[in-house]
Amino acid sequence: MSATIELFELFKERLTVRSDHAAGQILGVKPQTISNWRTRGSQAEPKLIEMMCRKLEQDPMPWLLRAQADQAHDPANGLVWKRMATRLGISLSAVALAVAKLFSDANMQMAVAMGGMDEYAWGAMSSMGQALTILS
């Protein structure tokens, strides 16, 4: 299953809607667009992936990278995107360990409020394992 379809199905589930049409209206896409995702293997635009991830409270980075890998026409290019996603996951792991030493759980919300890290940074750290799972 492609990244876009997998994410779209999770999005529909979160919204508790069954039809592609209803979920597509929420995203502002035409039924033909969703049909292209399903039948032609095309991927959602990055802004749509980000919109779905916001609703799911997930970091969009692994989904964006996977969509790029899925969209690559040359298998070698797909592997490049997958390697980048893996490297990103490893880099995020290192960042998470360093940040965990600097901030206790009690201080995390304060750090976010003070602008130390945004919601995506914290989301990225909490979803590092998810990124590697999605790509495998």
**Alpha-carbon distances of 88 from 33, 82, 98, 99, 131, rounded to whole Å:** 30, 10, 15, 16, 9
Q: Identify the burial level of 48 via C-beta atoms within 10 angstroms of its C-beta, where 0-12 means exposed, 13-18 middle and 19 or more buried.
A: buried
CA atoms within 13 A on the CB side of 90: 6
Tokens representing 36 are: 């292209």
| Beta carbons of 43 and 3 less than 8 angstroms apart | yes
Residue with tokens 């990055």: 46
Percent of the chain with pLDDT over 70: 65
Can you tell me the distance from the alpha carbon of 37 to that of 76, in angstroms, rounded to the nearest whole number?
22
CA atoms within 13 A on the CB side of 41: 8
Instruction: List, for the chain, all residue ranges whose pLDDT scores fall below the cut of 50.
Output: 128-129, 131-136
The residues, any chain, with a CB within 8 Å of residue 34's CB and separated by 6 or more, are 8, 20, 21, 23, 24
Numbers of helices and strands, H then E, in the chain: 9, 0
pLDDT for the residue 131: 47
